[in-house]
Amino acid sequence: MKRIIYSIFLVFFITLSVKAQNPREKLRTFKVAFITQELDLSPEEAQKFWPIYNAYNKKKAALRKKMGEEIHQKIKEKGKENLSEKEARLLLDNYMAIKAKEN
């Protein structure tokens, strides 16, 4: 019974919050609801889980941004047709190192 009430409350809250948000926020709200429901988090567990998950996502986004900036800057400077094999390999190695760090 408690689970049913919690699920109804969650759906109601999502419906209200989605109406006043931009598309990115809507997606984030649905993601939070989906993960909460799939992990079957109690309110206490959710309070502990979400700060850790959000910190993880911020670090992951920062790594992706760094990767994008480095690669795009190098390609912008030289042009993708003008990159040497060595430079392209270095960019790829950097990309792979950042992806490994991200994982």
Angle between the N-to-C axes of helices 43-78 and 85-102, in degrees from 0 to 180, rounded to the nearest 10? 170
Could you give the CA distance from residue 62 to residue 66 in angstroms, rounded to a whole number?
6
Q: Per residue, what are the HEC states of 17-58? A: HHHCCCHHHHHHHHHHHHHHHHHCCCHHHHHHHHHHHHHHHH
User: Is 32 or 17 the better-scoring residue by pLDDT?
Assistant: 32
Considering the domain architecture, whether residues 69 and 102 belong to the same structural domain is answered as yes
Query: Regarding predicted confidence, which is higher, 6 or 24?
Result: 24
Q: How many domains does the chain have?
A: 2
Mean pLDDT for 34-40 is 88
Domain containing 65 equals: 58-103
Would residue 46 count as lying in a domain?
Answer: no
What percentage of the chain exceeds 90 in pLDDT?
A: 9
**Is residue 20, in this structure, part of any structural domain at all?**
yes
